[in-house]
Amino acid sequence: MHKDVGEILFNPADIQTRIDELGADITAAYKDKNPILIAVLKGSFMFMADLTRALDFPCQIEFLGVSSYGNQTSSTGAVKITRDLGCDIEGRHVIVVEDILDSGLTLNYLTGYLQGHKPASIEICTLLDKPERRKADVFPKYKGFTIPDAFVVGYGLDFAERYRNLPYIGILKPEVYS
């Protein structure tokens, strides 16, 4: 275990098992809908790669870049799009793939932004959910794990651009960021 991680919440096998279940649920609901999966960069890159491999139907993938917390551990709510969509989503079924839902401010902004492009539908698939910290009403249709109010890293999630490559999800020791 990395020295800055205090506790491992989900090891690679836990993550894969849950993603296989999510993939089966999404396949059942979308196999005839030709959806576009839109991953929110950068944190969801690893989840997107594993989730799409758990889907048993043809699907299109896209990426949206948004500004992150920088070196802080909570969202300011000021979301900036750093990489826009590369395709037209009008009339298409969209699944937004996110690493973690915290205050909800990012996804609240992003779903509003995507609605402006007139998709047929939008649903959210988040790997992690921290409901205790919610500030905006966001209701993910697909959710991997509910976690307590702690700052987590690994499996794509970072603190100040570090720890994304850890294969597990763990709680970052508070002394690392305080």
Which residue type, as a one-letter code, is found at position 90?
E
> In the complex, which residues of this chain contact ligand IMP (CB under 6 A)?
43, 68-69, 75, 98-106, 151-153, 157
Peptide bond into 42 cis (omega under 30): yes
CA distance 110 to 112: 5
The CB density around residue 113, as the number of other CB atoms within 10 Å, is 15
Residue tagged active-site, from 102, 129, 137, 149: 102
Q: To the nearest whole angstrom, how small is the minimum distance from the Cβ of residue 13 to ligand IMP?
A: 21
CA distance 27 to 23: 6
Q: Where are the alpha helices (DSSP H) in 31-81?
A: 45-53
Q: To the nearest whole angstrom, how small is the minimum distance from the Cβ of residue 151 to ligand IMP?
A: 4
Nearer of residues 64 and 100 to ligand IMP, judged by Cβ: 100
Nearer of residues 114 and 118 to ligand IMP, judged by Cβ: 114
Active site residue 102: yes
Which residue type, as a one-letter code, is found at position 167?
P
Q: To the nearest whole angstrom, how small is the minimum distance from the Cβ of residue 57 to ligand IMP?
A: 26
Q: Where are the alpha helices (DSSP H) in the chain?
A: 12-30, 45-53, 105-115
Nearer of residues 68 and 111 to ligand IMP, judged by Cβ: 68
Catalytic residue list? 102
